[in-house]
Amino acid sequence: MQNTNMPIFDAMVDNFNRQISYLRVSVTDRCDFRCTYCMSENMTFLPRKDLLSLEELARLCSVFIQKGVKKLRLTGGEPLMRKNIMQLVETLSAHLETGALEELTLTTNGSQLHRFAQPLADFGVKRINVSLDTLNADKFAKVTRWGKLEQVLDGIAHALNAGLKVKINAVALKNFNEHEIPAMMQWVHERGMDFTLIETMPLGEVDEDRTDQYLPLSQVRKQLEEKFTLEEISYKTGGPARYLKVHETGGRLGLITPLTHNFCESCNRVRLTCTGTLFMCLGQEDAADLRAVLRSSDDDHVLSQAIDAAIMRKPEGHDFIIDRQHKRPAVSRHMSMTGG
């Protein structure tokens, strides 16, 4: 039942008539992994004093929900590393109970799920995304630098036991996991989970050459079709993935293709960082400082107006490109800052 006591703010519609109904919130830029395509091994993270408090994050999220956000995803870095993160989850879950928010979810590397899977389920989270690029322990240690595969698999098991629906996200990386993808897909589907492949994105300076990492998913799909029957389906989760049914496994395969087939025309998302910066597009540098507005006024209408002004600057599309002539990232910030 909708709470009629909530203020009614204008819905967020950009200049291209796209209604914004999906907010991704990076609650921390810190992570206990150092994935090679995401960040450098020796990262400099934000000073803790620059981060919004959990109460400030909750207030900002609440205003976005009042402005029409129906799906809210917590991301990082690794969101479950944020101290007292369950306080924020509990606060946001109140919007699920009123019906103002349709879904509260998160993306995690899985390392902390053994601790938090059950509390997440208890607070109304129904499904989560787990980033997992390989089932080979040695390769997993190599790509994450600091991660332990056994810990992640244990976390996934805890999530399934808690009744959470789990989607496994894998970044397709040339000469790393491309030959493992069919076996990974079967492993995921055997456990009743969805499987989504993602093209690597040119965000932030990393220690690897992305032209050596980039694997077009059009090529991966062609290779999969040599072994599997793939059928386009209309299934949607509110994000950018296009889904296929794999007849041999009975499972779903999602494809997120920001480079080979971008999804900008239907983009319904904005991203809020842990410092209160709102990015209207993952592939552009333009952003709005909501922290200053948040801390200068207790009036949520002022916040609503600042959000509206930012939404009107949302660009038509991103400028992602990876080739030998464009080795530098499209934007300088790392994926861990905006959470993908």
The tokens for 117 are 């899977």
In this prediction the pTM is 0.86
* % of residues, the chain, pLDDT over 70: 86
Q: Which residue numbers in the chain have pLDDT < 50?
A: 1-4, 203-206, 210, 320-331, 333-334, 336
pLDDT of residue 203: 46
Report the candidate in 45, 52, 11 with the shortest Cα–Cα distance to residue 289: 52
H or E segment at 143?
A: helix 137-144
Interstrand relation of 287-289 and 277-279 (parallel, antiparallel or unpaired)? antiparallel
User: What strands lie across the sheet with 230-232, from one edge to the other?
Assistant: 230-232, 242-246, 251-256, 194-199, 165-172, 127-131, 103-108, 71-75, 22-26, 269-272, 277-279, 287-289
Cα 227 from chain centre: 30
The tokens for 37 are 């395509």
Q: Give percent helix, percent strand, percent coil of the chain, each to the nearest 5.
A: 35, 20, 45
Cα 60 from chain centre: 18
**Which tens digit of pLDDT belongs to each residue from 277-311?**
999 987 677 899 999 999 999 999 999 999 999 99
pLDDT of residue 331: 46
pLDDT of residue 237: 86
pLDDT of residue 180: 96
Q: Does domain 22-338 have CATH number 3.20.20.150?
A: no
pLDDT of residue 323: 43
**Which tens digit of pLDDT belongs to each residue from 55-113?**
999 999 999 999 999 999 999 999 999 999 999 999 999 999 999 999 999 999 999 99
Report the candidate in 117, 145, 152 with the shortest Cα–Cα distance to residue 207: 145
pLDDT of residue 131: 95
pLDDT of residue 265: 76
